[in-house]
């Protein structure tokens, strides 16, 4: 059997298997970048994390 007679499933299968991994890596990289940006915003003081961590404020419980 010559290479022209062989089906092209091997290369297309490899491409199909690689696509989800590439997509997952891109999504992971995007989330990591967003987390880095958020850390920078907090470091700069533009976001008061203590307000977010005080669950009583937004859950309607008594404040201290």
Question: Could you tell me the pTM of the whole model?
Answer: 0.56
Q: Supply the pLDDT for residue 42.
A: 93
Domain boundaries, the chain: 9-59
Are 63 and 56 spatial neighbours (Cβ–Cβ below 8 Å)? yes
Given a cut of 90, is residue 55 above it in pLDDT? Answer: no
In three-state secondary structure terms, 62 is: coil
CA-based max dimension of the chain? 80
Q: How confident is the model over 8-52, as pLDDT tens digits?
A: 556 667 777 889 999 999 999 999 999 999 999 999 999 988 888
Structure tokens that stand for 28 in this block = 């992971």
Quick one: pLDDT at residue 38? Answer: 95
What DSSP letter does each residue of 3-52 carry, written as one string?
Answer: TTTS-SHHHHHHHHHHHHHHHHHHHHHHHHHHHHHHHHHHHTTSS-HHHH
């Amino acid at each position: 059997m010559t290479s022209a007679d062989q089906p092209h499933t091997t290369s297309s299968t490899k491409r199909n298997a690689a696509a989800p991994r590439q997509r997952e890596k891109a999504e992971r990289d995007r989330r990591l970048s967003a987390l880095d940006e958020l850390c920078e915003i907090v470091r700069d003081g533009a976001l008061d994390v203590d307000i977010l961590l005080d669950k009583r404020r937004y859950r309607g419980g008594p404040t201290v």
